[in-house]
């Protein structure tokens, strides 16, 4: 449906900035804003469900996987100490 609207300057400025930011047409920006304002659900294409493919990580026996961050911190500290000594 075609219609003519007279927009307040502040509304027109916000619409124009959103058009520039989103790189979408004015028509699309206005329709989305009106849908949100009127609390209408936006039409969105159905997406296929994302499937996670797990990867089994094998650590040597005795490696505590809950403390890997601690190991990384220790290694980082060693590198820093070597740099400071040089």
The answer to whether 15 and 33 are in contact (CB under 8 A) is yes
> Distance (Å, rounded) from C-alpha 30 to C-alpha 36?
10
The pLDDT value given to residue 11: 94
- What are the structural domain ranges in the chain? 1-42
Radius of gyration of the chain (CA): 27
Whole-structure pTM value: 0.45
The tens digit of pLDDT for each residue in 28-80 reads: 999 999 988 888 766 777 888 999 999 887 888 888 888 888 889 999 999 99
> Distance (Å, rounded) from C-alpha 48 to C-alpha 43?
16
Helices (H), 5-67: 9-22, 26-37
Contacts of 2 (CB under 8 A, 6+ apart): none
């Amino acid at each position: 449906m075609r219609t003519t609207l007279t927009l307040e300057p502040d509304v027109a400025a916000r619409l124009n900035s959103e058009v520039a930011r989103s790189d979408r047409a004015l028509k699309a920006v206005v329709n989305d804003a009106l849908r949100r304002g009127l609390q209408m659900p936006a039409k969105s294409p159905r997406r296929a469900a994302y499937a996670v493919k797990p990867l089994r990580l094998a650590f040597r026996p005795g490696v505590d996987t809950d403390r890997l961050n601690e190991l990384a911190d220790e290694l980082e500290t060693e590198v820093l100490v070597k740099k400071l000594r040089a």
